[in-house]
Amino acid sequence: MKALITRKLGMTSILDEKGAAIAVTLLSASPNVITQLKTDETDGYGAVQLGFESSKRPAKPQAGHFKPSKTTPKLTREFRITGEDDTQLTVGDHLAADSFEVGDIVKVIGISKGKGFAGTIKRHNFKLGRKTHGGRSYRRPGSIGSMYPQRIFPGKKMAGQMGHEQVTTKNLRVAIIDADLHVIGVDGAVPGPRKGLVLIKGAK
């Protein structure tokens, strides 16, 4: 199974086989521990729960849950698996950066950077109003409805909270694998700030 919980370190650039510089996002992939296996018979679906980092003082319910894996992870995330993937997995096993290979196509999931309360121009790329000839709606959203049906439909593009939402980026290529430093380099940008939590999973 190719899936890990990582943290974003930042971006750098490397040279590919043709000598062209490509942007790479570095992810800190310290070993993940398998804390729970879910099956169709017991839970109704197949999934594996991974633990990341370590907690010094876990609560008693969490300590009891993590007792079979002999660890106390700080964070846990769940990944869906099929029947073929769980044949070689057992609770307590560790998954590291070498689970992936250079050239693998993956998808990454992260929380995008929060931009706070933003207007329609920044948030939805609305057009500016005119600055001259008496224009008074330079950055205003303009009309938001009509006489009928006397209400505004849900989902109307207006000012509001921008960013800080889950974003999935697909079809990224693994460019670097450093098993000693527990680092994975992904070709392209990854959502989220530095030190942000990033889930990486095989594209299949």
Same domain? 121 vs 32: no
> Do 100 and 175 fall within a single domain?
yes
| Domain identity same for 66 and 91 | yes
Domain count of the chain? 2
Instruction: Note whether 41 and 104 are same-domain residues.
Output: yes
In this structure, the answer to whether residues 54 and 121 fall within a common structural domain is no
* Domain limits for position 126: 115-162
Pairing of the two strands 166-178 and 94-95: unpaired
- Do both 20 and 58 map to the same domain? yes
> Are 64 and 133 in the same domain?
no
Give residue 84's pLDDT: 62
CA distance 100 to 202: 8
Instruction: Return the CATH number at 27.
Output: 2.40.30.10
Residue 87: the pLDDT is 60
Residue ranges for the chain with pLDDT beneath 50: none
Q: Answer yes or no: are the C-beta atoms of 49 and 76 closer than 8 Å.
A: yes
Residue 97: both structure tokens together: 């950066």
139 and 179 co-located in one domain:
no
